Amino acid sequence: MLLTLTTTYVPATDIGFLLHKNPGALHSKTLPFGVAHVFYPEATEEKCTAALLLDIDPVGLVRKDKGAAFPLEHYVNDRPYVASSFLSVAINRVFGTLLSGKSKQRQDLVDKALPLEAVIYALPCQAGEALLQDLFVPLGYDITLCRSALDAAFPEWGQSPYYTVTLRKNCPLRELLIHLYVLMPVLDNKKHYFIGDAEVEKLLHYGEGWLKDHPKKEAIAYRSFRNLRSFSRMALDRLQEEEPLEDQAQQEEAEHHANAQEEALEQTLPQTLLAPPPPSLNAQRYQSVLAVLKDHQSRTVLDLGCGEGKLLRLLQKEKQFAKIAGCDVAMGSLAIAQDRLKPEQQSRGQPEILLFQSSLTYRDARFAGYDAISLIEVIEHVDEARLGALERVVFEHAKPPLVIVTTPNKDYNSVFETLPAVQFRHADHRFEWTRADFQNWAHPIAAERGYEVTFHPIGTEHETHGGASQMAVFVKTDCENTDIKTGEDGKNY
C-alpha cells in the first residue's frame, strides 16, 4: 500500500516538521498487521514528497483472521496490496501527532494552507468513479482518477475496481490527512477492526467541522459502519444535534425529511433498530459498576486494568469516595489517565487519587486495603492459563469486601451482524465466555474464597442471548468487619 504527499510550498522540506519525519532518513514503525515505512523520494527546497509505504504481513493476517467467506479466502485476496482500512490506521499511528493538531517545531504551519498533492495507489471502489467524485469533490479537491485493468494481457476481462487517485488542494496538511483517514475506510467493505461505539466517537471527532455539511454524509456514515444501521443512525443523530435550525420553516422541512427517512427505513429494518439509540455499551458498563459501588457504600476503590481512567473519572465526581486508585500494566494508558484526572490538582472534597503500574497476575501489597476492586473487561485479555494467578492475587491476597468483574457475553456475539461466529470482538482477547462459562468460573471462586456472587446483564438484553456484556458481583461473607450489602433492587450482593 502506498500513499504519497507532495508540496511545492517553499521551503518544501518543512513538511518534515509537520509529519515529524526527517526527510534525510528512513522511518519505520511496526504495527499489529505489518510495518509502515516513511521515506522521501524527493526532498528539495522547491518540491518535497513524503511516501507512506505499508508492508502488510499476509501470514500474520491469516493467523489472526479466524473467519473466511470461502476456503481459500485467506490466500486469495487483495488485503496486503490495496489501500484500505489498514492504510487509514497506519496514517493515524504514523502521523498521529499532526492529526492531533500539534507540531513541536513548526506549530505555525499546522493550520497553514499549503499547495498539496496526494496520490493513493490501488484504492478499491466497487461503486465506480462517481462515488469517489462524490466523496472528495465537495471537500474542494481537484481529483484525477486512473482505473487499472484486471490484466493487461487479457483486455477482455475488463477493468478492475482499483484506482490510482490523485487529489490536489491548497489546504492544511492535517486537513488532507483527516479526510483520507475518514474516507478510505468508507470504500472498504472488509474492515479489519471491530465496529463498535468507539468508531462512532472517532467518526464524529475527525469529522468535526466538515462532515455535517457533506452532501454524502449519510453514505459516509452507512459505509463507515459496514451498513450497520444502528451505529450509522447514532452517528447521524449526533451530527443532527449539532446543526442549528434557523427558522420554523426549516425545522418543519427537516422534520418532514426525517419522517420520510423513517418510513423508508421501516420497510427494510427490524423494528428494534428504529428506536432511539441507547447510551453506548461502554457507558452502560461503567454506570453499572458505579451503581454497585454506590449501593455497597464503598469508600475506597481500586480499578485493576484501569486503562485511561474512565471509571476513575466517574468516581472522581462522587462525594461518596474517599480514595480511588487505578492500576495498569501499560504506562502509556496511565500517562493519559494522569493527564485527564490531574490528581495533583485535586480540590477539597474530592477523593484522593493514586495511579501506579503493576501486573495483575503477581502479588502486590498495593492491592490490599480497599473496600472494592473492579476488573472491567480485563479478564478476557489474560491467558486462561494465567487466570489462576489473577484469582489468587485478587481473592486470596487482596481479598476486598467487594469485587466486581465484567466481561463480554459470547452468547450475544451472534447479534452483531458482521462478526463471524468464530471471531472475537477484539484482536487482543484471549477468550470470550458465554454466560454459563462465566458462572462456571465465578461460582468455585466464591465458594473457595468466602464470597457470595450474583450475575447481572449489561446493555440492552436480547430475549435469547442476554446482555452484550455481563457482570459478576462478589461480596465477602467470612470477614467479621464486612456486612452483606443490599442493593436498590432488593438483592443481597
Would you list the DSSP string of 69-99?
SSTTTTTS-STTTS-SHHHHHHHHHHSHHHH
Full set of structural domains in the chain with CATH: 2-193 (3.30.1610.20), 281-476 (3.40.50.150)
User: CA–CA separation, 210 vs 223, rounded Å?
Assistant: 17
- 3 state DSSP class of 375: strand
Could you tell me the three cell numbers for 147? 482505473
**Res 116 pLDDT > 60:** yes
Q: And the C-alpha cell for 319?
A: 462525594
Question: Is the confidence at residue 401, as pLDDT, over 80?
Answer: yes
List CB contacts of 162: < 8 A, sequence separation 6 or more: 78, 82, 122, 123, 124, 125, 147, 148
Residue 460 confidence class, pLDDT cut points 50, 70, 90 = confident
pLDDT band of residue 82 (cuts 50, 70, 90) is: confident
Q: What is the pLDDT of residues 207-223, one digit of tens each?
A: 888 998 899 988 888 88
* Mean pLDDT for the stretch of residues 71-100: 77
Average pLDDT over residues 115-143: 92
Three-state DSSP at 485 gives: coil
Query: For residue 418, is pLDDT > 80?
Result: no
Q: What pLDDT was estimated at residue 105?
A: 87
Q: What is the pLDDT of residues 251-278, one digit of tens each?
A: 445 444 544 544 454 444 444 443 445 6
Residues 6+ apart with CB under 8 A from 385: none
β pairing state of 402-408 and 372-376 = parallel
Report helix, strand or coil for 44: coil
For residue 409, pLDDT beyond 60: yes
For the residues of 312-344, what is the DSSP string, one character each?
A: HHHHHT-TT-SEEEEEES-HHHHHHHHHHH-GG
Contact 422, 375 (CB under 8 A): no
Residue 461 and residue 470: Cα distance in Å, rounded? 10
Percent of the chain with pLDDT over 70: 80
pLDDT above 80 for 340: yes
Give the Cα separation of 262 and 174 in Å (integer): 36
Of 51-55, 63-67, 197-201, which range is least confident? 63-67
Residues 121 and 164: beta-carbon distance below 8 Å:
yes
Instruction: Quote the CA–CA distance of 455 and 442 in Å, as a whole number.
Output: 9
Q: Which long-range contacts (CB under 8 A, 24 or more apart) does 365-370 make?
A: 366/325, 366/327, 367/302, 367/304, 367/327, 367/393, 367/394, 367/397, 367/398, 368/397, 368/398, 368/399, 369/300, 370/300, 370/301, 370/302, 370/323, 370/325, 370/398, 370/400
Within 13 Å and on the Cβ side, how many CA atoms surround 467? 19
Q: Residues 6 or more apart from 187 whose CB is under 8 A from it?
A: 84, 123, 124, 125, 131, 132, 223
The pLDDT tens digits of the residues spanning 157-186 come to: 888 888 999 999 999 999 999 999 999 888
pLDDT tens sequence across 290-310: 999 999 999 999 999 998 899
Cell digits of residue 22: 526527517
| Strand-by-strand arrangement of the 27-31 sheet | 27-31, 34-43, 48-56, 2-7, 114-124, 159-171, 142-149
Residue 280: band (very low, low, confident or very high) from pLDDT cuts 50, 70, 90 = confident
pLDDT class of 197 with cuts at 50, 70, 90: low
Residues 6+ apart with CB under 8 A from 486: 295, 492, 493
27 Cβ neighbours under 8 A, 6+ residues apart: 21, 37, 38, 39, 94
Distance CA 340, CA 338 (A): 6
Apex CA 405: angle with CA 202 and CA 302, to 5°? 85
Across all residues in the chain, what is the average pLDDT? 82
**Distance in angstroms (rounded) separating the CA atoms of residues 469 and 455:** 11
pLDDT at residue 490 is higher than 80:
no
pLDDT of 61 reads 55
Question: What are the beta bridge partners of residue 352?
Answer: 323
The C-alpha atoms of residue 28 and residue 38 are separated, in whole angstroms, by 6
- Comparing CA positions, the residue from 469, 459, 425, 471 lying closest to residue 272 is 459
Specify the pLDDT at position 266: 41
pLDDT band for position 459 (50/70/90)? confident
Mean pLDDT on 57-68: 53
Q: Return d(Cα 43, Cα 113) in angstroms, integer.
A: 19
Beta bridge partners of 142: 168
Indicate the residue type of 248: Q
Which of these ranges, 122-131, 262-271, 330-339, 438-447, has the smallest mean pLDDT? 262-271
Q: Sorting pLDDT into bands at 50, 70 and 90, what band is 66? A: very low
User: In terms of residues, how long is the chain?
Assistant: 493
Helices 129-136 and 173-183: angle between axes, nearest 10 degrees: 140
Query: Residue range 468-478: average pLDDT?
Result: 92
Question: Average pLDDT for residues 193-213, to the nearest whole number?
Answer: 79
Res 455: pLDDT: 95
pLDDT score recorded for residue 388: 92
Among 37-51, 96-110, 134-148, 409-423, where is mean pLDDT lowest? 409-423
Q: Where is pLDDT greater, at 189 or 127?
A: 127
Q: Provide the 10 A C-beta neighbour count for residue 48.
A: 23
Query: Of the spans 61-75, 222-236, 335-349, 376-390, which averages the highest pLDDT?
Result: 376-390
What is the model's pLDDT at position 238?
Answer: 76
Q: Cβ(188)–Cβ(220) under 8 Å?
A: no
Contacts of 263 (CB under 8 A, 6+ apart): none
**What is the rounded average pLDDT of the residues 342-350?**
77
Q: Which residue has the higher pLDDT, 28 or 414?
A: 28
pLDDT at 493: 38
Q: How many CB atoms lie within 10 A of CB 86?
A: 25
In the block, cell 528539495 appears at 44
Binned at pLDDT 50, 70 and 90, residue 57 comes out as: confident
Q: How confident is the model at residue 479 (pLDDT cuts 50, 70, 90)?
A: low
